[in-house]
Chain A
């Protein structure tokens, strides 16, 4: 089975722009979660999607949004980028939320905001 894939792997944007990141979960997985990783704040939960519905949300401003499609692929969008949004964005997939099944992480998208 192919693992979790994230595109693009690297992105450079300037302040004020917006960006869309994509995540394709493992085949058969219906739950997708997003995390932001920075040296200062560590790994922080952004949101979780299941069956095209946001099931859970972390403490991030409304500039951060996401969605899930019927094939379970997910995208996250960050509008009006700030320097502090520079981070590694990780996507994880799981068969079903709340299950004891393993969450598998993708390699991440490294976003740099200049």
Chain B
């Protein structure tokens, strides 16, 4: 069965500092991996996804993530945090056989201090 673990339910960084949100997955087949962001009282917005090909994936708003099969990880990074990045971030896994079914991690709430 597939699963996702996000390390740290809350992460706090200063504006301008590096953002690192950790995600480890478990999957018996080649995974599709996703990072979504959720702002208060809104739905989920896709930041980036890995399906096949290049393991370093660039997304919107300056975020990127690297798929590391040997570490079963898909950590999300951003070189310089902005106040507008404060939100909840979800890592998710799926595969071709599961169609639209996404398995989500518990989420990481990112706070950005001025």
Residue positions of A touching B, CB distance < 8 A: 4, 31-33, 35, 42-45, 48, 50, 55-56, 58, 90, 92, 94, 97-98, 100, 102-108
Q: How many A-B residue pairs have CB under 8 A?
A: 66
- Shortest B105–chain A CB gap in Å is 8
What are the residues of chain A within 8 A of B107 when measuring CB–CB?
Answer: 42-43
Known A42-B107, A100-B32: A33·B100 in contact at CB below 8 Å: yes
Known A90-B43, A108-B43: A98·B96 in contact at CB below 8 Å: yes
- Shortest A32–chain B CB gap in Å is 8
Whose C-beta in chain A lies nearest to the C-beta of B104? Answer: A43
Whose C-beta in chain A lies nearest to the C-beta of B95? Answer: A98
What are the residues of chain B within 8 A of A103 when measuring CB–CB?
Answer: 46, 100, 102
Encode B28-65 as 1/0 by CB contact (under 8 A) with A: 00001000100001111110010110000000000000
How long is the Cα–Cα vector from A56 to B99 in the complex, in angstroms?
Answer: 8
Whose C-beta in chain A lies nearest to the C-beta of B98? Answer: A56
Our pick among A4, A42, A56, A107 for the contact of B106 (Cβ within 8 Å) is: A42
- Shortest B113–chain A CB gap in Å is 24
What are the residues of chain B within 8 A of A92 when measuring CB–CB?
Answer: 44, 100, 102
How long is the Cα–Cα vector from A56 to B97 in the complex, in angstroms?
Answer: 10
Establish whether residues B42 and A56, one from each chain, have CB atoms under 8 Å apart when the complex forms: no
Establish whether residues A56 and B51, one from each chain, have CB atoms under 8 Å apart when the complex forms: no
Known A42-B104, A45-B103, A92-B100: A106·B43 in contact at CB below 8 Å: yes
